[in-house]
Amino acid sequence: MLEAKDKEILKILERDAKIKSEKIATMVGLSPAEVTAKIKELEDKGIIVQYKTIIDWEKAGEEVVYAFIEVKVTPERDVGFDAVAKRIYKFPEVHSLYLLSGTYDLSVVVEGKSMKEIAYFVAEKLATLDNIQGTVSHFILKKYKIDGKVLEPEEEDKRLAVTP
């Protein structure tokens, strides 16, 4: 079980991976050394998996296309979904992969330079794998919110400048 302070540190880092440990220390009421030690421990335990950056590639002028691919799978004896999942996530085109409950089994997020490239990947690589019964592709048209972060500019402060 994590301590409350560990959780608080994780929440701060989840929002801003670049924040300095001195600042975290003040925010949570610990010393900088304690915070550094805690973060190290959380990294070592694999609780902090990676520090990443959310990038709006569209704004950077790069052409990036994402698609959600619903995949229906016949699970294998003994290994279930894991073996086929492994075969799928090894492709560098696969951005994320989830096992879901419901009408289909795997949700594959595929990243590509164009719709054509993704369509090709699905038709040639994904759909042809053993155990795959069928796929349905959904291309992402617009991103509104990624990992808790809304991409539109923030709403302005509507409060008066001074109130009692």
Partner 1 sequence: MLKRNGFVSKAVQDIPPSGIRKFFDLITTIKDVISLGIGEPDFVTPWHIRDMAIYSLEQGYTSYTSNAGLIELRQGISEHLFNNYGLQYSPQDEILITVGVSEGLDLALRAIINPGDEVIIPEPCYVSYKPCTIFAGGKPVVIPTDADTGFKITPRQVEEAITDRTKALLLSYPSNPTGATMSKEELMKIANVVAKYNLLVISDEIYSRFTYDMPPTSFVSLAGMKERTILLNGFSKAYAMTGWRIGYAAGNKEIIAAMTKIHQYTMLCASIISQKAAIEALRNGKSAVEEMYNEYNQRRRVIVRGLNEIGLKCQMPGGAFYVFPSIKTTGLTSEAFAEKLLFEEKVAVVPGTAFGDCGEGYIRCSYATSLEKIEEALERMGKFVRNLLNKV
What is the Cα Rg of the chain in Å?
21
CB of 43 to partner 1, least distance (A): 22
What are the residues binding partner 1 (CB under 8 A)? 8, 11-12, 23, 26-29, 155, 157, 159-164
CB of 11 to partner 1, least distance (A): 8
Which residue, 99 or 150, is less far from partner 1 as judged by CB? Answer: 150
Tell which residue, 24, 29, 30, 22, has the closest CA to residue 10: 24
C-alpha–C-alpha distance, residues 156 and 161, integer Å: 13
Which residue, 11 or 113, is less far from partner 1 as judged by CB? Answer: 11
Count CB neighbours of 113 within 10 A: 11
Residue 32 CB-half CA count within 13 A: 5
Q: Please report, as a single letter, which amino acid is at residue 68.
A: F
CB of 19 to partner 1, least distance (A): 10
Phi, psi (degrees; rounded to nearest 5) at 33: -65, -40
CB of 142 to partner 1, least distance (A): 20
Which residue, 124 or 155, is less far from partner 1 as judged by CB? Answer: 155
